[in-house]
Structures are given as C-alpha cells and as structure tokens.
C-alpha cells in the first residue's frame, strides 16, 4: 500500500493530496454506505462524461493519463467503504 501511495503521489505531481483530501471529505460527509459510494465515485462519472464529450483523437490519450488517478480514487473509496462496513464473514 505504501509503494502504491508513493507512486500515486509522484505520478500525480502532488494532485494525489487533493484526491486524498476529497475522499476524506466524502467519507466525513457520508451518513450511510450508499452516500459514501455516491460521493466517492461521483467524480469518476463526471470524468467519464468529460472524456465522452471530447473528440476521439484527444480523448484516448487523456483517458490514459487520467486513468491512474481515477483508479486511486476508487481504491480509497472502496477501502473506506470496507472499513465502514466492518468485517463480515
């Protein structure tokens, strides 16, 4: 996890701190499990709509560049979702 976190901080040139701060804010604002998923994954859907609106020749390179930060947001949200839900098994 530490290696992944360090890689994301280098890859996003410090923008990873903004991503982490947003995910922490979303976790603090969410009252239920569904709220957490909605607040956490909402930016991913907004990014998808932005990429859909771009022309195809520029959308593919931008999608590649933005894919890792988006995966990092998903990772942080799912980690918070799992910690809120507790261990069930």
Kindly report, residue by residue over 19-45, the tens digit of the pLDDT.
777 777 877 887 777 777 777 777 777
Instruction: Report the pLDDT value the prediction gives residue 62, as an integer from 0 to 100.
Output: 73
Kindly report, residue by residue over 50-88, the tens digit of the pLDDT.
777 877 777 677 777 767 677 777 777 777 777 777 655
* Residue 87 DSSP symbol: -
CB 80 within 8 A of CB 23: yes
Half-sphere exposure of 37 (CA within 13 A, CB side): 6
Q: In whole angstroms, what is the distance from residue 51 CA to residue 45 CA?
A: 10
Residues in the chain: 89
Instruction: Report the pLDDT value the prediction gives residue 89, as an integer from 0 to 100.
Output: 47
């Amino acid at each position: 996890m530490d290696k992944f976190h360090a890689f994301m901080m280098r890859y996003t040139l410090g923008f990873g701190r903004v991503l982490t701060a947003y995910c922490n804010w979303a976790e603090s604002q969410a009252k239920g499990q569904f709220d957490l998923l909605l607040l956490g994954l909402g930016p991913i859907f907004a990014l998808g709509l932005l990429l859909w609106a771009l022309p195809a020749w520029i959308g593919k390179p931008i999608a590649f560049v933005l894919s890792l930060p988006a995966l990092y947001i998903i990772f942080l949200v799912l980690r918070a979702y799992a910690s809120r839900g507790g261990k069930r098994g």
